[in-house]
Structure 1
Amino acid sequence: MAFVPLPLERVTPPLSATTFNAVARARAALASLDSSAKRLPNPALLRRSSLSREAQSTSALEGTYAPLQEVLAADEDEDQSDEELREVLNYLRAAEHAFAWVGEGRPLTLGLLIELQARLVRGTTAETVSSGRVRDIQVVIGARRGARVQDARFIPRPPGPELEAQVRDWLDWVGADHGNEIDPVVAAAMGHYQFETLHPFNDGNGRIGRLFIVLQLLHEGVLTEPTLTVSPWFEARRADYFDRLLGVSSAGNWNDWVRFFADGLTASAVETAAQLEDLLSVQADLKDRVKAAGLRADTAMSLVDFALARPIFTVRQVERRLGVTYARANGLVAQLVEAGVLAPHDEARYNRTFSAPDVLAVLLR
């Protein structure tokens, strides 16, 4: 089917009582998550771990799979020979750039949008001369290789000035203050649907669209910290996710889509909050072990914090992060291994790599 643009400023989704209840549950879960994040002494410390999980899941939804352990072990500052891992790390960089942008109070602009897409595909086979700009070719969704365009499951708007104008309209809408007219959860559901149906880029639309769910909630003040991970829930329900999106285009079924979306935010917020609490508990326990071992508090505690954000790491990374000599970093890691805080990590595959097993147990469950 072909895409028919929806003027979001004139859309009022007909929501049932069941859907309104789902939206209310989502708002409550998001508020609880944000309350937990605000209590963290250093919210950014736990952001990388949750963002790594989001990066891995959102990429898997698009058919790019890299095991979470490999994502956690990868160094963003180094070139990656594995293209799938490179794509996942590109998402990490793009998301951090987007969070910093919104954190500075800057508006959601076309410049930000195309920069995110360019960062996402950089150095991969998806990078083309059209990267970093609104697409100039027709794309289709759900078509077999070599099949006719008209046989595709979904056909977004053709390229051209009208597509770029609609992308700008979408950005204006998601960046607007809807006041009491539209609940932020409903607005995020509407915004996500519209972006995915516009499909403004040759590649990366799904990942950028799911990233914008969090950006929109940050922009509207529903979240103050970008700790929410949404893609694991949607990845586990891939067929339903695409079916609900298509249901809006084919039958105007906003009700089922908004309810599905709200249920996803609720489950994701509850799971993310539980993971944050568990990581904080692990952090406290590891620091107690450091104290019991009689180690110097300053650098040893800093290494615990580092391992919380990057639970698989090399001594060189510790050297750079803590600003100590390699010999000091190596000795400090050895002391924390002896104290039962760290452990050697699969040395057959990784060169002088260590991990925080208790942190990994939370992230990989």
Structure 2
Amino acid sequence: MSKEGTSKLPIMIPNEHALVIYKLLAEVNYKVGYASGQYNRSFMKKYIENLFYLKESIHSTRIEGTPVTFTDMVEERGEKNPSWERIEVLNYQEALRQGASSIKTGYPISTRLIKELHRTLMGNARGSNASGGEFRNIQNFIGPSNRIEDAVYIPIAANEIDEYMENLNFYMNGVPNSSFRKFNKTDGFVFDEECDPIIKAAVMHVQFESIHPFLDGNGRLGRILIALIAIKEDLVDVPVFFVSEELEKERARYYAMLNGVRGDNPDWYSWIKFFITACGRMADSLLSKLKAVEELASNGLKKCSLESEKNIWLYTFSDPYTTATRVAENLHLAPGTARKGLKALSDAGLLYTDETAIRNRKYRNYDLMRILD
């Protein structure tokens, strides 16, 4: 395979491969739609949404080799001097929210938005802080060392980034453009700018990674764009379409599939099949987690005597390692009421606390963490 070579969109695959993809896609679209519906109807939606944002941020950041866990992020919430690992996760979370908000208010997925999200992603983190929000102006490469001779893939030259990104922007937003490649459609099936949202997300993600427009942060930003495409195409709400956990589970294959689409003979079929399958597993995982969370919440509510205890119990689903101070502030309770309620939940076996701690005692919803982690 050539180390270089990225064609402009759209793409074409053999007709027999398209048939296989559409058969698989029908099943996965049903799963994703069902999962989205169940999530939107769940009485726990508003409590767990932030944790789904956090999980996506952690898994996507970990794909890049950042050593951070879900437990770390929950346990160390609110620290005044976070480590660089936590900063990267928090930046991702903020960029994800920023992008989702922009798309939901009608903004297109544009170069301007992409640069703004990159600036957020790179703020105060390791890497090329000075280039946050700016396309690279030098040649970069992907490989195991800092020698271009060892490169697995060499992206397009810096002076071509603008035209390739323009082509990608038109594709993502479903707008026909003169930059689109022309195919003889008798030779295969074209996935153009009007293709199914899941396929569009798969194609877009690879194309963005292949263009590699920034010096750092391309992988993370490319996975944020997957979620934004899902919102723009009205496929699902953001918390339902977070696929990074599934990609991280098969990280080596994920990277291999990305590389397989590059070069003179791109294997789009294998990548799209891999991506659709990952989306199906994501939907299955979401449904399983959602059912377990609802069951845990309902069983806990039965053990609560007072309305304040019920409210505190549900609050711990958004803040699983909490304190009386945070409960009092967020639920507008008197500090004594918060402490009393947390103690009741601990006595009922719903939360765990270290009874020997005198100050800043934490109350942990371990059952929830076991479901989500």
What TM-score, normalized to structure 1? 0.89
1:84 Cα shift?
0.9
Query: Is it true that 1:154 corresponds to 2:153 in the alignment?
Result: yes
SS at match of 2:80: coil
Q: Aligned equivalents of 1:270 and 1:177: distance in 2?
A: 32
Aligned to 1:168: 166
Runs of 4+ in 1 over 4 A off after TM superposition: 177-181, 345-348
SS at match of 2:130: coil
Q: Aligned equivalents of 2:331 and 2:128: distance in 1?
A: 35
Q: Aligned equivalents of 2:354 and 2:107: distance in 1?
A: 41
Aligned residue identity for 2:141: V
**CA 1:346–1:258 in structure 2 vs 1: closer, same or farther (change >3 Å)?**
farther
Deviations 1:29-63 (A, max 9, x none): 11111111221246342222222222221111101
The answer on whether the counterparts of 1:45 and 1:305 sit within 8 Å (CA) in structure 2 is yes
Percent identity, please: 25
SS at match of 1:313: strand
Structure 2 residues not aligned, in runs of 5+? 177-191
1:20 Cα shift?
2.5
The worse-fitting range, judged by mean Cα deviation, of 266-275 and 22-31 is 22-31
**CA 1:243–1:180 in structure 2 vs 1: closer, same or farther (change >3 Å)?**
closer
Q: Aligned equivalents of 2:336 and 2:162: distance in 1?
A: 55
Deviations 1:9-42 (A, max 9, x none): 4x23333433322222221111111111221246
Q: Aligned equivalents of 1:64 and 1:359: distance in 2?
A: 24
- The CA RMSD measured in Å over matched residues stands at 2.4
Aligned mate of 2:234, from 212, 221, 233: 221
Q: Aligned equivalents of 2:90 and 2:114: distance in 1?
A: 18
Aligned residue identity for 1:152: A
Aligned to 2:76: 74
Aligned mate of 2:302, from 265, 288, 307: 288
The answer on whether the counterparts of 1:315 and 1:326 sit within 8 Å (CA) in structure 2 is yes
The answer on whether the counterparts of 1:2 and 1:154 sit within 8 Å (CA) in structure 2 is yes
Correspondence list, 1:32-43, <5 A: 32-41=34-43, 43=45
Aligned to 1:210: 223
Correspondence list, 1:2-17, <5 A: 2-9=3-10, 11-14=11-14, 15-17=17-19
1:340 Cα shift?
2.3
Q: Aligned equivalents of 2:226 and 2:356: distance in 1?
A: 38
Aligned to 1:334: 343
Query: Is it true that 1:122 corresponds to 2:123 in the alignment?
Result: yes
1:225 Cα shift?
4.4
**CA 1:157–1:180 in structure 2 vs 1: closer, same or farther (change >3 Å)?**
closer
Aligned to 2:85: 84
The worse-fitting range, judged by mean Cα deviation, of 11-20 and 104-113 is 11-20
Structure 1 residues not aligned, in runs of 5+? none
The answer on whether the counterparts of 1:184 and 1:220 sit within 8 Å (CA) in structure 2 is yes
SS at match of 1:226: helix
SS at match of 2:240: coil
Query: Is it true that 1:305 corresponds to 2:314 in the alignment?
Result: yes
**CA 1:44–1:172 in structure 2 vs 1: closer, same or farther (change >3 Å)?**
farther
Q: Aligned equivalents of 1:314 and 1:134: distance in 2?
A: 43
The answer on whether the counterparts of 1:193 and 1:245 sit within 8 Å (CA) in structure 2 is yes
Aligned mate of 2:60, from 58, 64, 69: 58
Q: Aligned equivalents of 1:109 and 1:214: distance in 2?
A: 15
Aligned residue identity for 2:366: P
Aligned residue identity for 2:280: T
Deviations 1:148-175 (A, max 9, x none): x132001112223x31232233122112
Aligned residue identity for 1:150: E
**CA 1:198–1:47 in structure 2 vs 1: closer, same or farther (change >3 Å)?**
same
Deviations 1:278-325 (A, max 9, x none): 1111111111111xxx22x1x333322221122122333223321234
